[in-house]
Amino acid sequence: MSDGLVQILEGNTFVVSDGRGDIDASPTDPTGFFSFDTRFLSSWVLTVDGERLNALATDDLRYFESRFFLVPGTGTVYVDATLSVIRQRAVTTEGFTEEVTVLNHRDEAVRLALRMDAASDFADLFEVKDALAKKGSYQRSVVDGTLVLGYERETFRRATHVSASTGGIADEEGIAFDVVLEPHGSWRTDLHVVAVQDVPGPQRREGSRRGAAQDKAAALDRWMAQAPRLESDGDALKRTYQRSMVDLAALRFTARTLPGRALPAAGLPWFMTMFGRDSIFTSLQALPFAAELAATTLLALAERQGSRVDDFRDEQPGRILHEMRYGELTAFEERPHSPYYGAADATALFVVLLDEYERWTGDRALVRALEPEARAALAWIDDWADLQGNGYVSYRTRNPTTGLENQCWKDSWDSISYRDGRLPGFPRATCELQGYTYDAKLRAARLARLVWKDTAYAERLELQAADLRRRFNADFWVEDGEHFAVALDADGSQVDSLTSNIGHLLWSGIVDGPKARIVARHLMGDRLWSGWGIRTLAEGEGRYNPIGYHVGTVWPFDNSFIAWGLRRYGMKEEAARVAGAILDAAEFFDGRLPEAFAGYRRESTRYPVRYPTACSPQAWSTGAPLLLLRTMLGLEPLDGHLVVDPLLPEGLGWVELLDIPGAWGVVDAFGRGRPHAGHRPVRRAAPGAPEAERHRRRSRAGAAAT
């Protein structure tokens, strides 16, 4: 998103406007009012006496509500207006309500012609992204005082209904108001905008902006009250944590088949929907803070698990979806996203999340309920994912027209390359896919023993994982570079560029011990380490570009999982350094980490440079500070207890995370400075500990973990 835009959102519904509150979108401009992948307003412009207004200030009140302070042009360099206008907007899942207030600052009455012009191109989000033309027909009408903007293409119908609470006269271009203001008087109206899908007739939005905002504010208060409380001597860290939890709340949406339950959408503006990989990664990051997101993500993905062979959608039995879409292009199968399964990693990650969720919550009922889906996911890995016949998970789309070429998390066209810049062929077996598979099989073996009571299955999975690890450490190790190849080519050749993917191998646990320290040296070396974080591709590689999407930028999500992996292998100092750099960067983005920022060296820039079209908020960037907090404090669930083993980044004096929920009830974690020599991890409160004992344990653990 470009600077100067104001965005509010609620689930799949969002509004992006300029600083005046106006929407004046071009066909390729991602501003407007969107819901379920369709733009329902492409124009929303307020005028007074035929003139647009000037912005004085914008209040970012809450993620779902914004307020704009405006004045007419004064004709001079001074803002000395005798009239001011306040627009206050609140979004809901159905649309938005906008309260417009006009204030007269003169000693005499004034009469004004106020008007809100409205129009919609009903663009599918992919049409905006790819500059595609529409194929249907448009309608405009006024029905019972409501402006109805319509679009129809065969059976695909969408409409936008615009109405006013008082005083408005609707025509086919908008709503006009004849406003009379007494001296120092005020005037107000509420405008209601409703997105309608395949429903004839006008739809009125009952209630006011105040009512909608109050309901949302109460829900946000409950969400924040249930989250662990962070205390620290670092105000910036507290701001970033607060922003992350609020943005995570903003990105939640309710799956249509799971009423009352929410999972995270991937990111605004392009990805406000369910993404298998993104929702799983975000749920993993948020487990210590909002475990219910993981449960809903697992249930929603299980419902849509692949059940047939469909080349158009890259679907196979047991495969976990990549993306779910609802727009026009999907409806007419011009895009395969309803759902689309073109991700090679989401299926293993589904199993990883299921196990990690149980380790945190002790919820074995969900593990039992999803046993068939977990087994089907593991069967997909064995039966469908080995496209090269070499025992490794690889990918190649079976829909070459509209399917994704790269089906790993670095899914842009040039993200996987040799060190000289050449692109490998297909199928491709990227290194982190093998790590996720190794991790998934070991985690599933644990669940098979503990919950499913199938020892033979557990043993088979463990043998498969051990064999995969042995072969992987031999086949992917680039001898002359002493690092893991990013992938194996179709002919088995090592795709030998140095990338951040090797950091994901650490959190999966597939790296042999002696190689882990070498991997860490690469991650923290000058070629990958920018000072603001770890680059996606090393400086000096053929395709390196510090502002290339996956070929040199720094991704906060990527870094959070790499830091977690460094901790897994005992490299706490390195993990703390990564955490400190990403949290430093967050300060320059007002606590909201973007999807990616430039890989320039820190000594060359006074601040991190944002990637031009980065999503913000973006779910797994929102989750990055949460996983970094877990990593800094060394939080790991173990047999119904919580282990705390802190090591903080330089510059943080102390951090306390209070009331961390899990199988143990709620406990606190405390970290201060650097641990003393010989420090050992501390086991925390057992499940069901009485309140007084919990506080005694809290005190002892906090003292020991400094």
Mean per-residue pLDDT, 521-547 = 97
Residue 176 and residue 165 in one domain: yes
CA–chain centroid gap for 580, Å, is: 21
Residue 136 and residue 168 in one domain: yes
Question: Looking at the domain assignment, is residue 1 inside a domain?
Answer: no
Residue 274 and residue 129 in one domain: no
Least confident of 72-76, 272-276, 476-480: 72-76
435-487 residue pLDDT tens: 999 999 999 999 999 999 999 999 999 999 999 999 999 999 999 989 999 99
Residue ranges making up the domain that contains 587: 227-633
Percent of the chain with pLDDT over 70: 92
Q: Label residue 258 by pLDDT band (50, 70, 90).
A: confident
Which residues, including other chains, have CB under 8 Å from residue 529's CB and lie 6 or more apart? 523, 535
Question: Looking at the domain assignment, is residue 221 inside a domain?
Answer: no
Question: Looking at the domain assignment, is residue 446 inside a domain?
Answer: yes
Question: Looking at the domain assignment, is residue 320 inside a domain?
Answer: yes
Residue 172 and residue 247 in one domain: no
Residue 250 and residue 195 in one domain: no
Phi, psi of 355 (to 5 degrees): -70, -45
SS (H, E, C) 29-40: CCCEEEECCEEE
Q: Label residue 210 by pLDDT band (50, 70, 90).
A: low
Q: Which of 183, 216, 249 is the last residue of a domain?
A: 216
Smallest Cα–Cα separation from 55: which of 38, 35, 69?
A: 69
Question: Looking at the domain assignment, is residue 328 inside a domain?
Answer: yes
Q: What is the pLDDT of residue 76?
A: 53
Question: Looking at the domain assignment, is residue 222 inside a domain?
Answer: no
Residue 582 and residue 641 in one domain: no
In the three-class reduction of DSSP (H, G, I as helix; E, B as strand; rest coil), residue 643 is classed as strand
Tokens encoding 239: 């701001």
Q: Is the pLDDT of residue 343 over 90?
A: yes
Query: What is the pairing mode between strands 229-232 and 654-662?
Result: antiparallel
Residue 564 and residue 654 in one domain: no
Question: Looking at the domain assignment, is residue 175 inside a domain?
Answer: yes
Q: What is the pLDDT of residue 455?
A: 98
137-146 residue pLDDT tens: 999 999 999 9
Q: Is the pLDDT of residue 696 over 50?
A: no
Contact 331, 156 (CB under 8 A): yes
Residue 511 and residue 428 in one domain: yes
Query: What is the pairing mode between strands 429-430 and 13-17?
Result: unpaired
- Work out the burial of residue 253: count CB atoms within 10 Å of its CB; fewer than 13 is exposed, 13-18 middle, 19 or more buried: buried
pTM of the model: 0.86
Question: Looking at the domain assignment, is residue 69 inside a domain?
Answer: yes
Residue 306 and residue 429 in one domain: yes
Tally the domains of the chain. 3
Residue 271 and residue 348 in one domain: yes
Residue 208 and residue 119 in one domain: yes
Measured at the CA of 317, the angle between CA 316 and CA 319, to 5 degrees, comes to 70
Q: Is the pLDDT of residue 390 over 70?
A: yes
Q: CA 103 to CA 650: how far, in whole Å?
A: 51
> DSSP character for 56?
E
- Partners of 8 in the β-ladder: 15
Q: CA 522 to CA 398: how far, in whole Å?
A: 35
Phi, psi of 164 (to 5 degrees): -120, 150
Q: Is the pLDDT of residue 253 over 50?
A: yes
Name the one residue in this structure whose structure tokens are 């997101």: 293
Contact 224, 238 (CB under 8 A): no
Q: CA 597 to CA 613: how far, in whole Å?
A: 10
Q: Which of 633, 658, 693 is the last residue of a domain?
A: 633
CATH (domain of 298): 1.50.10.10
Q: CA 407 to CA 396: how far, in whole Å?
A: 8
SS (H, E, C) 578-594: HHHHHHHHHHHCCCCCC
CATH (domain of 178): 2.70.98.40
Q: Which of 587, 604, 633 is the last residue of a domain?
A: 633
In the three-class reduction of DSSP (H, G, I as helix; E, B as strand; rest coil), residue 270 is classed as coil
Residue 468 and residue 582 in one domain: yes
Q: Label residue 254 by pLDDT band (50, 70, 90).
A: confident
